[in-house]
Chains A and B, each alone.
Chain A
Amino acid sequence: MDNSVDSDTEIVSIQNLSFSRGDRKIFNDISLSIPRGKITAIMGPSGTGKTTLLKLIGGQLYPDQGKVLVDKQNVHQLKRADLYTLRKRMGMLFQSGALLTDLSVFDNVALPLREHTTLSESMIRSLVLIKLQAVGLRGARDLMPNELSGGMARRVALARAIALDPMMIMYDEPFTGQDPISLGTLVKLIKEMNNVLGLTSIIVSHDVEETIGIADYIYVLSEGKIAGQGTPEQIKNLDSEWVQQFMNGHADGPVHFHYPADNYHKDLFEN
């Protein structure tokens, strides 16, 4: 396997990670590495634990085995205070946006600044406006989260995620349930963030088209294992039936259309 990434350019390194929920093994001894300054996508069908992986990287969940290194620090052995310091350098964009519903757009973006810095209020105001301008929502600063559309909420959340100028951003299903215009805006924004701010981006998604369009490197997960990896080109031509089924969205293939069941005829005429 081509896993020889130089440790200086590697920002997240996952080594032999296993994680299970109840009796179900979500990850079974997987290793992957995410290079600095690139957009890495982690793909897979719903329920393969993509969000779980992000929570493991962020230190919100603990693995059964293996370790997660972020910027050379073992996330799960850090003390609480150190973990919090590390988290200030990682932004995470939740699927729902996770904006605080009792704060306005402006206050939501200002929240991490107010919590973690001692900047003056006028300084915070300028910073918030810069971040909101970057996502094109400077005019929406006085709206409340319930007045925003899904796409706008995600953009505000993105502004909030970059408020502290993190080294990396994790996007949890950024493209799900968006209309074509918001989708285009988000794709453009993620690309821009990565290029202009020099961020590292980790995208977790099952939207093949959009992800292939912007990712530099793709991991495809299936049943707790890495089913395939490579650049978008390599993935497209990968010699794996399963990956081809996933990427092209075939109804039948290694993943059967039918949920495992008894013989149809027998089942139907039994009684």
Chain B
Amino acid sequence: MIRFFQHLGHSTTSSFAKLGRSFFFLTHTLTASVSVIPRPRLLINQLYSVGVLSFLIITISGLFVGMVLGLQGFYILSDFGAEETLGVMVAASLVRELGPVVAALLFAGRAGSALTAEIGLMKATEQLSGMEMMAIDPLKRIIAPRFLAGFIAMPLLAALFSSVGVLGGHMVGVGMLGVDDGAYWSQMQAGLDFQDDIINGIIKSIVFGFAVSWISLFEGYDAIPTSEGVSRATTRTVVNSAFTILGLDFILTALMFGDI
């Protein structure tokens, strides 16, 4: 019994300590981010590995998610004779929820885990320590550009996901199932609002990009510098990112769409 309380107490204090470290890390990263501005090359390198390399998985997934939405939506809506509203259904689900959320989950799996592993290995091979001894702040040189890149790439990737998804829904709905082309687009435009839907969707993806970049970089930076430690940190990045994305999504949705 005492063991149990000991264990509970230990894990409580250690998780609070970790939370504290992560906030400390975040504030340092944010201040360090300023120093990236005069050196765009660092940012471009990272946009490449975070953004360009995630491009394919995001667009292909977006296309298939859109196609599935088109197919499923069509069967359900046709029961009510409301196939014409397929466009709204596909676009609203993508822009409000699936675009930001699924893109962020894929981003965490593709780019986030890679970031954690990269930073963790840099720590394990003393590269971070070596930079500190060369009087180069690894937060400025290594962490901040990656953080900014994630923060910038995420909304773009989510927008790509949603857009490609809407086209995928069009391909299936209009191209294969015979929904009227004009109705698909006009119902969509009438049903979705720029402010309420598009902007809120973009805000979501910005928040998710911030969260995933933060989690994955911190897990790498805080990893135990052994191969086992790095692999655990990578797993934690994916798991914690997924929880955080879904939790934040609920909170944001409640704030944005549910007049709270």
Contact = CB atoms under 8 A, between A and B. Distances in A.
Direct contact of A and B (CB under 8 A): yes
Interface of A: 55, 58, 60, 84-85, 87-88, 90-92, 94-96, 98-101, 111-112, 115-116, 157, 160-161, 164
B interface residue count range (under 10 / 10 to 19 / 20 to 34 / 35 or more)? 10 to 19
A96 B126 CA distance: 7
Contacts of B193: none
Contacts of B133: 58, 60, 87, 90-92, 94
Interface in B121-164: 121-122, 125-127, 129-137, 141
Contacts of B136: 111-112, 115-116
25 contacts: A58-B132, A84-B135, A84-B137, A85-B135, A87-B135, A88-B135, A91-B133, A92-B130, A92-B134, A94-B126, A94-B129, A94-B130, A94-B133, A95-B126, A96-B125, A98-B126, A99-B130, A100-B127, A100-B131, A101-B121, A101-B122, A111-B136, A115-B135, A115-B136, A160-B134
Nearest to A54: B133
Interface of B: 121-122, 125-127, 129-137, 141
B132 A60 contact: yes
Contacts of A164: 134
A160 B136 CA distance: 13
A98 B129 contact: yes
A25 B189 CA distance: 70
Given A88-B134, A100-B122, A164-B134, 6 more contacts: A55-B129, A94-B126, A94-B133, A96-B126, A101-B121, A116-B135
Most buried by B among A60, A100, A161: A100
Contacts of A88: 134-135
A62 to B, nearest CB: 14
A172 to B, nearest CB: 9
Nearest to B134: A112
A61 to B, nearest CB: 10
Nearest to A170: B133
Contact of B127 (A55, A90, A99, A112): A99
A150 B94 CA distance: 51
Contacts of A161: 134
Contacts of B126: 94-96, 98
A115 B136 CA distance: 7
B82 to A, nearest CB: 53
B135 A98 contact: no
A101 B131 CA distance: 12
A111 B127 contact: no
Contacts of B135: 84-85, 87-88, 112, 115-116
Can you list the 7 inter-chain pairs with the closest CB atoms, starting with the nearest? A98-B130, A87-B135, A98-B126, A84-B135, A92-B133, A94-B126, A88-B135
Contacts of A160: 134
A105 to B, nearest CB: 15
Contacts of B137: 84
Nearest to A161: B134
Contacts of B130: 92, 94, 98-99, 157
Nearest to B125: A96
A111 B134 contact: yes
A96 B122 CA distance: 11
B121, B122, B135 — most chain A CB neighbours (10 Å) = B135
A90 to B, nearest CB: 7
Contacts of B125: 96, 98, 101
B260 to A, nearest CB: 43
B137 to A, nearest CB: 8
Contacts of B134: 87-88, 91-92, 111-112, 115, 160-161, 164
Nearest to A87: B135
Nearest to B128: A98
B131 to A, nearest CB: 8
